[in-house]
Amino acid sequence: MTKPTLLKRLFPAFALSLGLLLAGQPAAHAEDDGQLMASGANIRDQASLQRGARLFFNYCVGCHSLKYLRYSRMADDLGLTEQQVMQNLDFTGAKFDDPVISHMPAEDAAKWFGKAPPDLSLEVSAKGADYIYTYLNTFYLDPKSPIGWNNTTLPNAAMPFPLWELQGEQTAVTRPGSDEVEKLELAHPGKLTPGEYQQATRDLVNFLEYVSEPAALQRHHYGVWVLLFLALFTLLAYLLKKEYWKDVH
């Protein structure tokens, strides 16, 4: 066997430093200043995805499209039948194979809100699940805002709070002598308890995470088998190498 050389000793250090460099996550989601709540989204939880889809199609699709998602793909991935989707989730008259397009005209929406509601197909890829989860939990009543609502995660957001009847109305407690929001308090409870509301937004964010990359379900499904195959392949290659090299001295 090889006697350890300086370089054999150097290699782990080099590999380690490269690894450390790569392991540090970039300040990926620009808005993340360490204040985000963990969404706990898990796209393998199909029941949660189904609940999230129901929330999306009841509360969000009025303004927001998912232009890269087809109803039929969603049915396949969420374990729903065509009938279930068309009767309960398709409110726009779209065909089963059509993408999810909101009926709100973008031009009008831009006039009404100052900014057309963005397509949410890739929102989780762009902003992160935690960001959206936190955003949906930090709306509060703000009499100074033209739409009556404000948000501590995205101050002066153009979006009114569509889930208010579920969460209720939060108000801001400001720091004495300033406008800075210290914390939010639930002034009027909604239909859901705070715990139920957090679970509801978790489901919704989970659904959006699925929408941003439906292939993730397939990735996880096949990935394990690919790794097992490659482990076996590597083992066989190693044994083959040992066999060939046993006469090299």
Binding to other proteins (CB under 8 A) within 160-219 occurs at 212-215, 218-219
One residue of 65, 121, 170, 206 binding other proteins per CB under 8 A: 121
Least spacing, CB of residue 117 vs other proteins, in Å: 15
Cβ contact 205:136 at 8 Å: yes
Site string for other proteins, 210-249 (x = CB under 8 A): --xxxx--xxx-xx--xx--xx-xxx-xx-xx--xx--x-
Distance, CA of 111 to CA of 203 (rounded, Å): 31
Window of 14-22, 51-59, 100-108, 185-193 that interacts with other proteins by CB under 8 A: 14-22
Choices 35-43, 117-125, 149-157, 194-202 (CB under 8 A): range interacting with other proteins: 117-125
Alpha-carbon separation of residue 136 from 120, 123, 133, 168 (angstroms): 14, 13, 5, 12
Cα–Cα distance measured from residue 208 to residue 214, given in angstroms and rounded to the nearest whole number: 10
- Residue 43-72 contact track with other proteins, rule CB under 8 A, x = bound: -------------------------xx---
Number of residues that bind other proteins (CB under 8 A): 53
- Tell me: does residue 96 bind other proteins (CB under 8 A): no
Smallest distance, other proteins to C-beta of residue 169, A: 32
Of the candidate residues 45, 46, 73, 141, the single one contacting other proteins (CB under 8 A): 73
Question: Which CB atom, from 6 or from 81, has the smaller least distance to other proteins?
Answer: 6
